[in-house]
Structure 1
């Protein structure tokens, strides 16, 4: 196994001392980078890019080659690879985002839902993990990931993203048994998928609960949080290789105390949550990841610098903070503004780790 040259990200996940606050960005290999756009054009379309391990490796490394101050890399893939492997027919409509040819609307289709064969149907992702890990040569740790069962279910039932969630919420209220069947099946699929990523070499795993915040309080505690807990619990039993985990619910600041029960090593925070208050709530129990508003990177360097410093000030002294955005970086971000953020984090955060 290649020795990591920079393990500050992993140390922060374990709440161990680091010389500065480590940083990476959600969606850091993405459309804001011209080199990414060139590779995507070469691939032909987004799905073809995801399903080509060589190109997935290339784009995973692009932000690391551009920004020397990143402390982690994240597998280039998409959360919707799992429902695609479950036979729902994922495609991307121009200007409209992801859609499914066969959304889960009728009971017969829901009852037929099956766990995919990870070794066959998602082999391209696992091959990409192995290839990326080798190409990194120990530069920084590699993050593997999946969508949460609830978030995946929203796409599987609604048939697309960007909806008001009325179709799946109607199911939750009128036929919770059907929704629980989808969630249980998807939970098993995600568990096997993340296990395969761990076996292939990722250094940590992250669960993206992008639409958890769309649920009511009781809905979150019934349809989202318990299933993420099952995944993390099962992975701990399945894997001899113990690696840390991150759980991120966008819009989930209301449930921080509840999230502490899940068994994740770190909680991701969106920009609506005050990281100082969050730290008071979690104490020394977990690491916090976040939480710059991605929109700030569209503004001026002085505004970026000011907000980065404010977040670091709010977290305060000590370990257990990984700097990140409160959600994925937007495609219109000037790449040089990322430099401003990274430089400010590296220089300003050192005082909190002395």
Structure 2
């Protein structure tokens, strides 16, 4: 169901809903007391992500509290390497770990376990049945480059040096890894759509670490293949691309990948984006998460500037990256008042 009753979906399809839709990346999470209470009861992050009842509840919490125009599935981008056969754990205070890291092992040694994704499809079904009719349900996955950086190193890394070295040292093997991630990602996102999501977002959190030539090879090319494959299966489902940190390379990404909307991080000048991106292409973002923490006049000035710049372009209001755990809830309410004024 689209049309005026789903403002976010309307904007992603280049329509005019008559209001500015808003949702926030990581809107389900640690800044909410109801999330912290559930986590204390249920245990670790991964336990909740694979528990359909818990994951559905977490997905719905910010919708109940704030009435956002979009609900983003509660999960993690590393469920795809888990489905490709790596072991996945979350270490308290240190983050995710994948084993064996592919800088020490071959992809061919892994046995894919796609059934590991089944609980997530069940979560989607539960959320889709419970969402208000005006709320758009967003699914997501990590883009192949970003997922590959974790698979190669076995964990997150600031400069993604292990994956970049791998790609230079053995581009054929790295291409094989990218292709495997891409294939699983198409099936995973297609499964989310079949289960009830109405749009999907590809997170390329580490796109900014690549040279222009590598960006073409490891970000644009695989993203374009994923978009084409998803469009063949689900031609009416919008796809948002979010190449964080890509800077001036975003324009090529927008032209060449076929995504329906572009997410802009907080470092992108909205005037530049409005000028350089294809006319009529919806954009999403790009408020600095720290401006939301600051609140007050700083928040209002920053938010109104973004709204003004994109007045003549389809625009989904969002942050430039995920909401931070120490964000005051009152500031989120204040932002909603600004956007919906």
**Superposed pair shares fold, TM > 0.5:** yes
Is residue 303 from structure 1 mapped to residue 294 from structure 2 by the alignment? no
Q: C-alpha displacement at 1:282, in angstroms?
A: 1.8
Pick aligned residue for 1:166 from 131, 151, 161: 161
Measure how far apart 1:225 and its partner are: 1.2
Give 5+ residue unaligned stretches, structure 1: 348-354
Superposition TM-score, scaled by structure 2 size: 0.96
The equivalent position to 1:110 in structure 2, one of 101, 107, 110, is 107
Does 1:321 pair with 2:319?
Answer: no
Shift, 1:236, TM fit: 1.1
Which position in structure 1 is the counterpart of 2:180?
185
TM-superposition CA deviations, 1:183-218 (whole Å, max 9, x none): 000100000000111111110011001111111111
Give me the whole-angstrom Cα distance separating, in 1, the residues matched to 2:237 and 2:2: 15
Equivalent position of 1:100 in the other structure: 98
- Partner in structure 2 of residue 27 of structure 1: 26
- The equivalent residue for 2:266 is 271
RMSD of aligned residue pairs (Cα, Å):
1.6
Unaligned runs of 5+ in 2: none
The alpha-carbon deviation at position 113 of structure 1 amounts to 4.1
Q: Distance in 2 between matches of 1:139 and 1:123?
A: 27
Q: Deviations over 1:133-166 (max 9, x none)?
A: 0011424010011000110000000111133212
Deviation for aligned residue 1:5: 8.1
Q: How much has 1:102 moved relative to structure 2?
A: 1.1
Q: 2:83 aligns with which of 69, 82, 85?
A: 85
Using the alignment, how far apart are the partners of 1:309 and 1:5 within structure 2?
Answer: 23
Tell whether 2:240 aligns with 1:220: no
Q: Normalising by the residue count of structure 1, what TM-score does the alignment of the two structures yield?
A: 0.92
Structure number with higher relative contact order (C-alpha < 8 Å, ≥ 6 residues apart): 1
User: Shift of the alpha carbon at 1:6?
Assistant: 3.5
3-state DSSP class of the match of 1:325?
A: coil
- SS of equivalent residue, structure 2 residue 257: coil
2-structure distance, mates of 1:90, 1:337: 35
